[in-house]
Amino acid sequence: MQVLVLHGPNLNLLGTREPEVYGRQTLAQIDAELAQMAADAGAKLQSFQSNHEGALVDRIQAARTDGTDFIVINPAAYTHTSVAIRDALAGVSIPFIEVHLSNIHRREAFRHHSYLSELAVGVICGLGANGYRLALQHALSSRPAASA
Ligand code: DQA
């Protein structure tokens, strides 16, 4: 079982970026916890953050042939703008969960729409970094039979 965790733009600033909205955990801390959770379950986990739309598209495309079974993605601002990331996820046909630290529906109207949600297995928002953990838990519980 192999899970890919993708983080979009500005999430590299977690810990210091608007902590009242996004919490105080750094991205490195979140990724380390997720890696430990996956290891404990005997699964592999890779994390990738980029501030660039094309780099995220390239990483999603690479997932088609690198053994990725499930994607957990916080597309950050690209959630609300990126047809390219939506198309990449549709193109690789890998199940994914969309995660947002904040409750995007309690925020500005432009954050209420996601180009990804209708393709997602599920969407978690407003639970802070816990959202990533819950998404990973679900991914690990849906492991393909062939790769224990
Ligand atoms: C976010 C919400 C987005 O609207 C915002 O652009 C982000 C982070 C979240 O995790 O709450 O950068 O995806």
Q: Is the pLDDT of residue 145 over 90?
A: no
- At 17, the pLDDT band (50, 70, 90 cuts) reads confident
**The total number of structural domains that make up the chain:** 1
Is there a domain that residue 148 lies in? no
Residues 6+ apart with CB under 8 A from 70: 1, 2, 3, 4, 94, 95, 96, 97, 139, 142
Residue 143 has a pLDDT of 67
Is there a domain that residue 6 lies in? yes
What are the binding residues for substrate? 74, 80, 87, 101-102, 111
Residue 110 has a pLDDT of 96
Residue 21 has a pLDDT of 83
Residue 7 and residue 75: Cα distance in Å, rounded?
6
> Atom of ligand 1 at shortest distance to CA of 8?
12
ipTM: 0.99
Residue 13 and residue 68: Cα distance in Å, rounded?
26
Is there a domain that residue 90 lies in? yes
Does residue 78 carry a catalytic annotation? no
Is there a domain that residue 146 lies in? no
Residue 100: give its domain's CATH number: 3.40.50.9100
